[in-house]
Amino acid sequence: MDIALSTYHIKFFMVKSFKTFLKHTSKDFHNQSVNPPVVRASTIIFKSMQHIRKTQVKDQKKPTGGHFDYGRQGTSTTYILQRILTKLEDSYHVFTTPTGFGSVFLAIFSVVRPGDQMLVADPVYSPTRILTENYLKEFNVRTVFYNPHDLKTLENNITKKTKLIFVENPGSNTFDFQDLSKIISIAKKHKIFTAIDNTWGTPYYLKPMKLGFDMSIVSATKYYSGHSDVMGGSLAVNKKVFNKVKAAEKITGLRLGPDDAYLITRGLRTLDVRLDRHSENAKKIAAFLSKNKKIQLLYPFKKNSENYRMWKKYYSGASGLMGLKIKSSSANSVKKFVNSLKLFGYGYSWGGFESLVLHQEFRETGKRNYMNLLKDEHLVRLHIGLEDPKDLIQDIKQALKYLR
């Protein structure tokens, strides 16, 4: 199957704005549809064996996609999503996976081998930590965790075996913002691959490829989809690692299905509108919570803080996910505060239209080497949705009375 881009009319001319591009890309003029069709296929059929061989030759000449001989390579539906995300990321190519964590695994699996060492940010997503620290140890891959606020712990642990620096920014649950350019400088000096989990900011607020990262991961389950009804991940790459990731993707079969790809493409149309509203609402909630003496806000709000300076240096905005470090001698009162919220759902994930809350236990935060959480300090995570911020503030206000 040879997919001509002109069929789906991906407009690049006269489109300078991210916002405009999202609204006008990938229209299907062949079927006269504003959205591309969902093409499902395991077997790709051809007119002849010669047609198969010609398609395979085209794929070799243009390995970034669009020419399929088997359904595991994708269809026009998945390819369209890849092209949109490649444009948004300013990358050489984007691979799509069935889950966000699938993209984490694919990034690591593509460049790390037995005998190698990885340097990983201490506040990474708990499953990422379990994968790198526990499972990969059984395959003779050593993982060292560095302090996001002291990059000497990164550079001092580099050896000849160091293959990858894996960053999550901001840190999971604790929202630590790192000096990204300094990390890239260290990596390039030592010729080490770099990957970043950019789910919180998305390329709407941060473009890691422009900073010099080799790989950029986004959980498409979150803001890309925006409606809490689909799982997916994206892995943007530069030309240097493209062949490694392509080979790893082929052998693992980590490929997003067309139905999920369609839903994510549909969600992307309003990514900017939704993120602007998430950000606007989150700022209002942060302003309200910053006045409470029992709460330390884990969000780029306090202008004289190191976290704020690192956020301001690299990001054009902030999304709707934040943390609260609550000082209380009673863990039960913190749980009561959380359970008393009426407009915040209790559940995992985030990035959808609705507000969510979680009381963070150890298994959510994961083991940390550089997190100093006292006995009377408790972590709560809020995802600020698209509701009226006045209603959300009133809800939080009535629940705060239970904090002791």
Question: Would you list the domain boundaries of the chain?
Answer: 5-268, 271-400
pLDDT tops 50 at residue 186? yes
Position 18 scores a pLDDT of 79
Residue reference for tokens 């390039």: 188
Position 3 scores a pLDDT of 46
Q: What mean pLDDT comes out for the span 58-67?
A: 87
Counting residues of the chain whose pLDDT is more than 70, the rounded percentage is: 95
Instruction: Provide the edge-to-edge strand list for the sheet that holds 356-360.
Output: 295-298, 321-327, 377-383, 356-360, 345-346
For 5-268, CATH number?
A: 3.40.640.10
d(CA 287, CA 17): 30
Is 271-400 a CATH 3.90.1150.10 domain? Answer: yes
Ramachandran quadrant class, 154 (left: phi over 0; alpha: psi -120 to 50; beta: rest): alpha
Position 29 scores a pLDDT of 62
Q: What mean pLDDT comes out for the span 209-217?
A: 98
Query: 384 CB contacts (<8 Å, ≥6 apart)?
Result: 278, 281, 282, 285, 320, 321, 322, 355, 392
Counting residues of the chain whose pLDDT is more than 90, the rounded percentage is: 81
Position 8 scores a pLDDT of 44
pLDDT tops 60 at residue 62? yes
Q: What mean pLDDT comes out for the span 225-233?
A: 97
Query: 82 CB contacts (<8 Å, ≥6 apart)?
Result: 65, 74, 93, 94, 95, 96
Residue reference for tokens 């006995």: 375
- pLDDT tier at 16, thresholds 50, 70, 90: low
More confident residue, 3 or 65: 65
pLDDT tops 70 at residue 108? yes
- pLDDT tier at 9, thresholds 50, 70, 90: very low
Q: Is the alpha carbon torsion for 64, 67, 71, 77 positive or negative?
A: positive
pLDDT tens per residue across span 287-324: 999 999 999 999 999 898 999 999 999 999 999 999 99
Q: What mean pLDDT comes out for the span 91-106?
A: 98
pLDDT tens per residue across span 347-374: 999 999 999 999 987 767 778 899 888 8
pLDDT tops 50 at residue 160? yes
pLDDT tops 80 at residue 137? yes
More confident residue, 210 or 69: 210
Question: How does the average pLDDT of the chain come out, rounded?
Answer: 93
Position 185 scores a pLDDT of 98
